[in-house]
Amino acid sequence: MTDDLGLPGRRELPPEVLDSLRMSLREGMGKPVRRRWPVFAAAAAVVLVLAGALVATVVIREPDRPGPVVANPDFSLDWPKAVAAMDRCWAAVQSGSRAASFPARDEWVPQFTVTSWEITVVAVMAGGKPLFCETTLMTATVSDPDAAPPYTHGGTAALLMTRSGTVAGVVDPEWPKLEVSGQNEASSSLRDIPVFRPGNLFVHIAPMKPSRTTYAVGPTPGEQSRPLHYRAPYLLRPAPEPAATVLDKPVFPVPDRATPAGEFFTTCTRAASEALSDDDAYEVGALLEGEDVGVVVARLGGRTIVCQGGLGYGDGKTAHYAVMYDQPKTAEPVHTLRTETVGRVDRNGVATKPQNAYLGVVPDAAVAVKLDFGTGKTIDATVAGGTFAAWFPDGVSQDYEHAKVGITVLDAAGNVLHQGTLPLW
């Protein structure tokens, strides 16, 4: 059923539906040997269950176009963000060859916005058709309102998929909500996504690369529980190519990638299946390298990420990489970062001594970080770009709830910037 969607479809929309659409508005130890990491793209797909913080209130029209207010409590319209994003998307369209055939900018009526970190997605009605505008710190991408929707069961289709993790489209009018599952050989995810009415629109932002993910969709089966390993019933086909995607706000100066840390960051983020928008803008921080594994910290504004992996991260024969997003439990300027054990096996698949990285954020002025794991020896961490990293020594406490690490942070003059304790685990 596609009649209500205002899309290139199977029959013309009734006038009353078009009128309604026009009027409506509105996620190891030891010093490792340095090695240069080759840049490559892995074929494996990994889906993370982490969902970005999604902002979703009441829909309003443009102030100069009086109209009815549509109450839709699952959604919100951030007007300043919507206008800024649409202006960038319109400029992206104008920079290509589609401007003449595209709905004029003054016909773009924002329906709702969804934000996650630096990503903003605006659902728009323009010329009686839906389109989606995504902006990040550096890029603007807009869907093609004239592309034939790749419908799955009924009238559900993805209209935009981006490398930032956005999946947006239309839902069959008969479906009360939308469930979206993602699957790869290692993990899976499942989310219930609200549907915006009228228009039957949805936006899902997750930290996964759509190009490396198999999505399936279905009508949410109420509050009933799903069985273990449940997947939505209908395959969601890839979205059409965007009408435009432009690097419109490049970051200067461009962060250096011609260092061991920069090379590993590039290898790791490209090979990982987790999405990372604006990866070229991240300042690389501390790097640890072990036997066939590496761990690097990077920062962009107030966001910090960890990327880790290598042959020793999985079975010892195939390189695996993963991006992890900072979710600090404290607002303190010095805090630890989440990571996972690496280096479990060697290249022959034989179990080896696991390696655990101890990572954290410190003031930008820090040049030295001394760590006391309670083993009788102070460890000098690697420090770079407001981050630190060190391998766990032998003999650390296994008290996962109470164990602490002493930390002293120094600047270039030897002044103490911070002294205290951090959680060990």
What pLDDT score was predicted for residue 13? Answer: 39
The pLDDT of 155-162, averaged and rounded, is 97
Going by pLDDT thresholds of 50, 70 and 90, the confidence category of residue 224 is low
What pLDDT score was predicted for residue 50? Answer: 35
Going by pLDDT thresholds of 50, 70 and 90, the confidence category of residue 184 is confident
The pLDDT of 400-415, averaged and rounded, is 96
State pTM to two decimals: 0.79
How far is CA 67 from each of CA 19, 22, 23, 86, 130, rounded to the nearest angstrom?
12, 10, 6, 20, 19
Give 53 or 213, the one with higher predicted confidence: 213
Which residue from 7, 24, 3, 1 is spatially nearest to 169, judged by alpha carbons?
7
Tokens 């709905």 sit on residue? 103
* Helix, strand, coil abundance in the chain, percent, nearest 5: 10, 35, 55
The DSSP bridge partners found for residue 190 are 181
Neighbours of 282 (CB within 10 A): 25
Going by pLDDT thresholds of 50, 70 and 90, the confidence category of residue 346 is confident
The pLDDT of 368-394, averaged and rounded, is 96
Does residue 286 have a pLDDT over 90? Answer: yes
Question: Any idea which of 70-74, 126-130, 191-195 has the lowest mean pLDDT?
Answer: 70-74
Going by pLDDT thresholds of 50, 70 and 90, the confidence category of residue 60 is very low
Which residue from 271, 264, 266, 296 is spatially nearest to 281, judged by alpha carbons?
266
Amino acid sitting at position 280: D
Give 237 or 25, the one with higher predicted confidence: 237
Whether 262 and 256 have beta carbons less than 8 Å apart is answered as yes
d(CA 371, CA 240): 51
- Burial of 389: CB neighbours in 10 Å, binned 0-12, 13-18, 19+: buried
d(CA 334, CA 394): 24
Question: Any idea which of 27-36, 328-337, 392-401 has the lowest mean pLDDT?
Answer: 27-36
What pLDDT score was predicted for residue 223? Answer: 60
Tokens 């390298």 sit on residue? 289
d(CA 371, CA 422): 10
The pLDDT of 324-347, averaged and rounded, is 84
Buried b (16+ CB within 10 A) or exposed e, 198-228: bbbbbbbbbbbbbebbebbbbbbeeeeeeee
Going by pLDDT thresholds of 50, 70 and 90, the confidence category of residue 7 is very low
Sheet holding 335-336, edge to edge: 335-336, 357-361, 387-391, 382-384
Contacts of 359 (CB under 8 A, 6+ apart): 286, 295, 297, 306, 336, 337, 339, 387, 388, 389
Average pLDDT for the chain: 83
Does residue 4 have a pLDDT over 60? Answer: no
d(CA 160, CA 222): 26
Percent of the chain surpassing pLDDT 90: 61
The DSSP bridge partners found for residue 410 are 368, 416
d(CA 186, CA 344): 17
What pLDDT score was predicted for residue 185? Answer: 64
Q: Which value, to the nearest 10 degrees, does the dihedral of the CA atoms of residues 82, 86, 87, 91 take? A: 160
Does residue 57 have a pLDDT over 50? Answer: no
What pLDDT score was predicted for residue 225? Answer: 74
